[in-house]
A and B are shown apart, each in its own frame.
Chain A
């Protein structure tokens, strides 16, 4: 079985401050981890993914994420948040098996205030 948890429903930060969106996972195998962003009434946009190698993954729009195997976490970060980063963020996980499935977290709403 595989699952992913996003422990915070909402994250509020001021523009220019660091942004962190938390994600933890539970899998029985090597995880492949993804982050997506969704703006209101739109589809999901891919931000970045961790497959193997360097634990720090850089993605679109200045976002990065750090894979931590011992803590089973894959937190999304941005050094300096913008008002335009306000959106719904999803973490997702897939494992190495015959199961293709991508399991999504419930999402975290990020609000960046000017």
Chain B
């Protein structure tokens, strides 16, 4: 987990609210990623960013939004359009998006919709 921080650790949201999950890295990595983890389904990619001010949709981007204004930061907003947002959210980073580069993960944020 070292070098990548996520906050908060636990987050509760009422239906209809938008919430923002924080991800910060001090590894000087260019690329950052957001994944969603549900029991028995592995990890699914939401969004990724290779460079500041640029990002691309992953496999399950609907109902989510991101920004990449700084190299160190890649916040994820879970909007009210996301129908089933309760999950464990993981942020990752890598030095570049080369095929051999290793992604390193933060400690995660557990989001629960009340």
Residues of A participating in the B interface, judged by any CB pair closer than 8 Å: 9, 32, 34, 36, 41-46, 49, 51, 90, 94-97, 100-102, 104-107
- Mind listing 7 A-B residue pairs with CB under 8 Å? A41-B110, A43-B106, A46-B104, A49-B102, A96-B99, A100-B50, A101-B45
Q: Nearest Cβ in chain A — how far from B46, in angstroms? A: 12
Q: Nearest Cβ in chain A — how far from B4, in angstroms? A: 8
Residues of B participating in the A interface, judged by any CB pair closer than 8 Å: 1, 4, 6, 31, 40-45, 48, 50, 58-59, 88, 90, 92, 97, 99-100, 102-108, 110
B105 adjacent to A106 (CB under 8 Å): no
**CA–CA, A102 and B90, complex, Å:** 14
Cross-interface CB contact of A90 among B42, B44, B97, cutoff 8 Å? B42
Interface of A is mostly: loop
Q: Which of B6, B58, B88, B99 has the largest number of chain A CB atoms within 10 A?
A: B99
Cross-interface CB contact of B100 among A32, A36, A107, cutoff 8 Å? A32
**CA–CA, A28 and B43, complex, Å:** 21
